[in-house]
Amino acid sequence: MVRGAGRIPSPCCGKSMTVVGTRNRKSKKRSGESCIYNIRRLECGHCHRIHHELPDFLVPYKRYESECIEEVLTNRTNHDIPADESTLFRWFKWFHSFIDYWIGCLISIMHRTKQENVPLSFSSGNSETALHRIGRLVGDAPRWLERIVRPIVNINLWLQTRSAFLSERS
Ligand SMILES: [Zn+2]
């Protein structure tokens, strides 16, 4: 069973949510072991949209836990994650196609919350790797992927695919 630490406002309207059921969510651990988590379904008190509680260690729509994906992205050639080559390839493609979008979301969140250390310029030139750019925003200490996912999910800006404007530069 997974339960969020506290009540969060609904990602859609920022209103309170009520529990309307649960759902099982499968996930793979670093050891390769599969787990099933029981996750709460929450309903927005304002627009009645349904949201699923997301534990910190999961990434929406991803089968592996966040730390597995992070490990692979950080140590491309030297990791111990038991995933096949096509999965690894998809993670890199996913990361590189979303990175600019995530950075945009994070900067917008920083502006909204009036943080003072918002970077002024953030070109997506080749001089900085994607990891460096993300590191400047959320730090490069372990669990950086969680620090990207959580705030973006919480304001309902997480996207599953970028069908319309996926750039082919990975
Ligand atoms: Zn709502």
DSSP state for residue 13 in the 8-state scheme? T
- CB atoms under 10 Å from CB of 90, counted, come to 13
Looking at residue 36, its pLDDT comes to: 94
Looking at residue 133, its pLDDT comes to: 86
Question: How far apart, in whole angstroms, are the C-alpha atoms of residue 59 and residue 99?
Answer: 14
Farthest CA pair distance, the chain: 48
Residues 6+ apart with CB under 8 A from 47: 10, 12, 13
Looking at residue 154, its pLDDT comes to: 87
Q: Which of 14-18, 118-122, 164-168 has the lowest mean pLDDT?
A: 164-168
38 torsion bin: left (phi>0), alpha (psi -120 to 50), beta (else): beta
Q: Rounded mean pLDDT of 135-161?
A: 90
E strand or H helix that includes residue 147: helix 144-154
Helices (H) and strands (E) in the chain, counts: 4, 3
Rounded to the nearest angstrom, the distance between the alpha carbon of 152 and the centre of ligand 1 is 16
pTM: 0.83
Rounded to the nearest angstrom, the distance between the alpha carbon of 41 and the centre of ligand 1 is 14
Rounded to the nearest angstrom, the distance between the alpha carbon of 69 and the centre of ligand 1 is 30
Looking at residue 23, its pLDDT comes to: 92
Question: How far apart, in whole angstroms, are the C-alpha atoms of residue 102 and residue 163?
Answer: 15
Looking at residue 127, its pLDDT comes to: 61
Q: Among residues of the chain, what percentage have pLDDT more than 70?
A: 85
Question: How far apart, in whole angstroms, are the C-alpha atoms of residue 146 and residue 27?
Answer: 15
| C-alpha neighbours within 13 Å on the C-beta side of residue 165 | 5
* Ion ligand 1 residue ranges (Cβ < 5 Å): 10, 12-13, 44, 46-47, 49
Looking at residue 167, its pLDDT comes to: 43
Q: Rounded mean pLDDT of 140-166?
A: 82
Rounded to the nearest angstrom, the distance between the alpha carbon of 37 and the centre of ligand 1 is 25
Rounded to the nearest angstrom, the distance between the alpha carbon of 157 and the centre of ligand 1 is 13
Looking at residue 131, its pLDDT comes to: 87
| pLDDT tens by residue, 23-41 | 999 999 999 999 999 999 9
| pLDDT tens by residue, 46-82 | 999 999 888 889 999 999 999 999 999 999 889 999 9
Mean pLDDT, the chain, rounded, equals 85
